[in-house]
A and B are shown apart, each in its own frame.
Chain A
Amino acid sequence: MLRSLLPALSLALVLIAIAWLNPRAISYFGFSLMLNLAIPIALATIAQMFVIAGNELDLSIGTFVGFVGCVTATWLKDAPLLGVVILLGSIGVYALLGALIHLRNLPSIVVTLGMSFVWQGLAILILPKPGGKAPDWLLALMAFKPPFIPFPIIAALLIAAVVHFGLMRTSYGVILRGSGGNSAALKRAGWSLLRTKIALFALTGLFGVLSGMALIGITTSADANIGNGYTLLSIAGVILGGGEFVGGRVSPIGAVIGALTLALAASPLLTFMHIPPDWQVAANGAILIIVLAARVLISRRER
C-alpha cells in the first residue's frame, strides 16, 4: 500500500521542499515555468514504460527524441506531408525493431544501443547545426494557457489517464502486460508474442514522436543533441514511478508522476537550494539514489 503511494509521496516531498524554499514558485506562473519541460519528459517516460512492460529496454529513446525534434523543426514545418510520412515511418521502424528482437531473440539493449547511433546520425544529417523552427500550430498548442490550472499539469493528467486506460484497463492491455509477466503462459493461451512485442515497440515509437514534437513546441528550434539526456531520465522515471525492469510491473500514472518529480528535482529545486549549476547533475543523481533506495526499503518491509 505504502509502496504504491511512494511515487506520489516523493513528488509531494519535492513540492513541499520547493514551497518551503520559495513560496512564490507555488503559483500558476511558477508551475508553468517549472514544469515547462515536464511534458516531453513524461511522454518519453511513457514511451520507455511500454518497452519495459515487455521486459525490454530502449537505450535509443533519447536520440530518437532528438531525431524527431529535428524532423519537426524542418520538414514538418516546410513540407508537412513529408514530415508526417517520416514520423510515421519512424514508428514503423520501431515496430520492425520489436519484430527483429522477438524473431532473432536479440537483447534489446544491444539493438537499441546500435539504433541510438543511427538516430543520432540521422539527426545530425538533418540539422548539422542548431536551428530550424517549430510549426506554428505546435507552438500555439504548447503555449496554450488554460484558466486556473497550468497547461503542463493538465497535459500530465491527460497523458496519465489515457495511457492508464489503454494499458491497465483494456483487455488487450492485459495481454501486453502479461507478455512481460509470463510470456510462456501467454503463448500457451494462444496469443502471438510477436504481435505483443511489435505493439509495445510501436507504442514506444509513437510516444517518442509525441515527446520530440512537444519538446520542439517548447524550445521552438531544434538541435541534434537535444534529447540525449532523455534515455536515462525516462528509465529513471519509470522506476521512480513504481515500475520494475522485469516482470511486466509498470504503472502509467506512476511513470508520469516519476517524470514530474524528475523534472522538478532536476533544476527548479536545486536552483532554489542555491546549488551551483556545475553540481546540479550530481545532486540530481543523489536525489534519484535516495528515492530509489527508499522504494527498495519500503517494498522490502512490506514483504
Chain B
Amino acid sequence: MPEASADIIRPDGAEKHFGAVSMDIIRLDGAEKHFGAVRALDGVDFSVRAGECVGLVGHNGAGKSTLMHMVAGTLTPDSGQIAVRGGVEASYSVPRAQQLGIRCVFQELSLCPNLSVAENTRINHASLNGFGWRRKAAHLIAAKLDEIFPGHSISASDIVGDLSITSRQMVEVARAFTVTQEPLELVILDEPTSSLDAHTAGQLLAFVRRFIAAGKSCILISHVLGEVLGNADRIVVMRDGKVVAAGQADAFDRDRLVTAMGGAEAREKAAAEIASGKPEPGPLRVRARPARQQDGNELIARAGEIIGLAGLAGHGQTDLLLAIFAAASRAKTGIEVTAPVALVAGDRQSDGIFPQWSIAENIGIRSLARLRNGLLISPQREAELAQLWQRKIGIRTPDMNNNIFSLSGGNQQKALFARALGSDAKIVLMDDPMRGVDIGTKLEVYDLVREEARHGRTFLWYTTETEELDNCDHIYVFKNGRIVANLRRDELTEEKIIQSSFGDAA
C-alpha cells in the first residue's frame, strides 16, 4: 500500500529546507497571459522550492496549463518575470529550462507514435548521439521504466503507436525522469495518472515521493483530488486565471479544495440525487458476453440503468463496448442489442473529434438523418440542435460555429456527450470519457447522465476512476477480457474492485 509510507517520507513543512530555506527552484511574479480577448493568466505569483511537491488544482480553463507552459518555457508571459534559483531569466525558453533541469510531462501525450520507445527518449536528449546511441537510449529508458513501474511489459524497441494509451503514458512519464547531461531538478506532471489504472498510478506516486525525498521538486496537477491531497506538500488552487488559495497540504481537505475551485453546489446536488430512489428498470436493452468469457457471466443492461465497467485499464472493457457498438448494426453471436447505440470515445483527439469542424457540426454528425432537409443538411436545424445542447450541457463558447479546438478539453468532451445524447440512441456507451476532465465538468455530466437514465436511456460506462462508479446501478469488473465480478451499487467498495481486478478467480 503506497499510503503507508507517505508519512515517513513527507517532511514537516519547511523544517527540512535548512540552509536553503528560501531557495526557489523557480519563481513567477505577476505572470499574465492573454489569448485574444481571453485572459488565461491574470497576474499569478507562483514558486516551487527544492525538495517540495506542489499540487496544482483547478477547473479546466482555470489557467493551470498556461502557467505550466510558462514554467516549462513553451510560452512566454505577456508581463511579469521568471526567476530560476534566484536569478531573473530575461529570455526564458525551452532549451534554457532544460539546461536548468526543468522538465514537463504534458497532458496531451507528446510522444512520436512512429518512433520506438528508445527513439522517443533520444528526442529529449540532444547528447544521445554518435556511435552506440541506440543502445544507450534503450538502457536509459528501460532502467527508468523498471524503477518507476516495476513489472511493466514495455520493451525499448516497441513502436509507441502500437502501445496502449496506458503504456504510452508510462513511457512519457519515465522519459521525463531520464537523465543524461542536463540536470534534473523539477518535473511538472500534468495529469500524469489520467490514463493509468489504480495500480500503475500508485507506483508512479510512490516514485514521486522517493524523488521528492531525494531533494528534487515536482509540480503535480491532477483532477483526482485524493492524489493531490495525499502527495503534495503544498497546494495551490487556481480559478479563472488567478491563484485563489494556497497553503500547506494538511491545511486542505477534499471539501475545502472543491469549495476553493468553485464546485461545491454541484457536488451537494449530486449527493442528494444519488440518495433519491430509483424506479424499476425497464425492458432489456443489451445482453453481452465478452469474446473470451468461458463461464456463464454476461453483461445485462436494461432501460434506465447505468452500468459500470470497472477493473484495471485495458482488460477488455473497451473491446466489449466496441463489440456492442458493432453488434447494433450487424448481428453478432453472444451479443444482443435492442436499440440504437451511440459511443462517447475516450481518446477524444483520435477517436472523437473532427478537428476541422465547428462545434455545431461535431455535435450534429450523429443525428444527420434528423437534420436533413431533402438531400441537404439544414443549417438551421443543426444550429437548433447545437444550441439546445449548449444550454443543456453548458458548453462555454461565444459561438457554436467556432472550431471545436477553440474549446478547452473539458468542453470538447461535453460536445462529444452532446453528440451522443442529442442523437436518437437509447444506449450510450462511454469509453472512459472523463479522462483529464475537471471536476466541475464531471459533476455536470454526471447529473446529465442520471437525468437521461431516468428518462429511459441506458448507459454502459467504462471508467478508470473508482469514484465515478458511485453513479452506476450495477458494476461489472473485468480482468483479462472476462467479467470476473458483478456488483450492485450497495455492494460496491474500492477494495472489492481491486480484489477482483488482481485476484486469481476466473
Contact = CB atoms under 8 A, between A and B. Distances in A.
Interface of A: 169, 171-172, 174-175, 177-178, 180-182, 184-191, 247-249
A290 to B, nearest CB: 26
Given A188-B74, A191-B123, A177 B106 contact: no
B406 interface: no
B114 interface: yes
15 contacts: A172-B129, A177-B114, A177-B115, A178-B119, A182-B111, A182-B112, A184-B110, A185-B112, A186-B112, A188-B74, A188-B106, A189-B124, A191-B123, A247-B113, A247-B161
B133 A182 contact: no
Contacts of B126: 190
Given A171-B130, A172-B129, A174-B122, A188 B110 contact: yes
A146 B95 CA distance: 51
B110 A182 contact: yes
A177 B95 CA distance: 21
B470 to A, nearest CB: 35
Contacts of B130: 171
B287 interface: no
B113 A175 contact: no
B98 interface: yes
Question: What 5 A-B pairs have minimum CB-CB distances, sorted nearest first?
Answer: A181-B112, A185-B110, A181-B114, A171-B129, A248-B114
B224 interface: no
B128 interface: yes
A284 B38 CA distance: 56
Interface string B363-388: 00000000000000000000000000
B463 to A, nearest CB: 25
Nearest to A169: B134
B143 interface: no
B128 A171 contact: yes
B114 A171 contact: no
A18 B98 CA distance: 58
Nearest to A172: B129
Interface of B: 72, 74, 94-95, 98, 104, 106, 110-115, 119-120, 122-124, 126, 128-130, 133-134, 161
Contacts of A248: 112, 114-115
Contacts of B112: 177-178, 181-182, 185-186, 248
Nearest to A248: B114
Nearest to A247: B114
A3 to B, nearest CB: 11
A190 B114 contact: no
A172 B133 CA distance: 11
A178 B129 contact: no
Pick the most buried of B95, B113, B134: most chain A CB atoms within 10 A of its CB. B113
Of A169, A174, A181, A186, the most chain B CB neighbours within 10 A belong to: A174
Contacts of A185: 110-112, 123
A96 to B, nearest CB: 26
Given A171-B130, A178-B123, A188-B94, 16 more contacts: A169-B134, A177-B112, A177-B119, A180-B114, A181-B114, A181-B115, A182-B111, A185-B111, A186-B123, A188-B72, A189-B123, A190-B95, A190-B98, A247-B113, A248-B114, A249-B114
A184 B123 CA distance: 12
A247 B133 CA distance: 23
A191 B95 CA distance: 9
A177 B112 CA distance: 9
B133 A171 contact: yes
A182 B425 CA distance: 35
A278 to B, nearest CB: 40
Contacts of A182: 110-113
Contacts of B95: 190
A168 to B, nearest CB: 9
A178 B128 CA distance: 15
A171 B129 CA distance: 5
Nearest to B110: A185
A245 to B, nearest CB: 12
B123 A175 contact: yes
A180 B161 CA distance: 13
A13 to B, nearest CB: 26
A175 to B, nearest CB: 7
Contact of B115 (A178, A189, A190): A178
B24 to A, nearest CB: 23
Contacts of A174: 115, 119, 122-123
Contacts of B110: 182, 184-185, 188
Contacts of A191: 123
A184 B72 CA distance: 14
A237 to B, nearest CB: 19
A286 to B, nearest CB: 30
A175 B128 CA distance: 12
A248 B114 CA distance: 6
Nearest to B175: A189
Contacts of A180: 114
Nearest to B96: A190
A172 B113 CA distance: 17
A248 B115 CA distance: 9
Nearest to A179: B112
A171 B72 CA distance: 24
B17 to A, nearest CB: 30
A243 to B, nearest CB: 11
A189 B94 contact: yes
A250 B399 CA distance: 41
A247 B112 CA distance: 9
A248 B111 CA distance: 13
Nearest to A191: B123
A181 B123 CA distance: 12
B128 to A, nearest CB: 6
Nearest to B108: A184
Contacts of B98: 190
Contacts of B119: 174, 177-178
Contacts of B128: 171
Nearest to B124: A189
Nearest to B172: A185
Contacts of A175: 122-123
Which of A175, A190, A247, A249 has most chain B Cβ within 10 Å? A190
Nearest to B106: A188
Contacts of A177: 112, 114-115, 119
Q: Which of A184, A189, A247, A248 has most chain B Cβ within 10 Å?
A: A189
A172 B112 CA distance: 14
Nearest to B95: A190
B94 A171 contact: no
Most A C-beta atoms less than 10 A away, residue of B110, B113, B123, B126: B123
Nearest to A186: B123
Contacts of B120: 178
A181 B109 CA distance: 12
B184 to A, nearest CB: 15
Contacts of B113: 181-182, 247
Contacts of A169: 134
Contacts of A189: 94, 123-124
A84 to B, nearest CB: 31
A121 B126 CA distance: 43
A191 B72 CA distance: 15
A275 to B, nearest CB: 38
